[in-house]
Amino acid sequence: MAAKPLWRQLFDAVDRRVAGPVETGARSDTFNDLVAVTWRVTRRLQRGLERRSRSVLHVMNLPTATDVRLLREQVAAVQRELREMQDREEDRR
């Protein structure tokens, strides 16, 4: 078998030294707490940004993603109702 390329030898050497401590750190309570706090802060910032962008869009009289989703749901409900009415009409014939 041919010797590994130099880049692979370097990668393996770094991996052997780094993998253990990184895996230990990733399993620690401190790391898990940090991930949880980061997720909560990110979500809070995202909600604030969404709230502000919704306000700006409404001031400009533009629909938000929520507005569009609600309209799609309403259109789908009307389409279902129309199909049901058409089916009942066909059954009468």
Please, are residues 73 and 85 in contact by the beta-carbon 8 Å criterion? no
Task: Give the tokens for residue 90.
Answer: 């066909």
3-state secondary structure at position 2: coil
> In this predicted model, what pLDDT tens digit does every residue of 9-67 receive, in sequence order?
999 999 999 999 999 999 999 999 999 999 999 999 999 999 999 999 999 999 999 99
- Domains in the chain: boundaries: 22-62, 63-93
The pLDDT of residue 2 is 76
Q: How far apart are CA 52 and CA 59, in angstroms?
A: 11
pTM of the model as a whole: 0.54
More confident residue, 52 or 3: 52
pLDDT band at 1 (very low <50, low <70, confident <90, very high): low
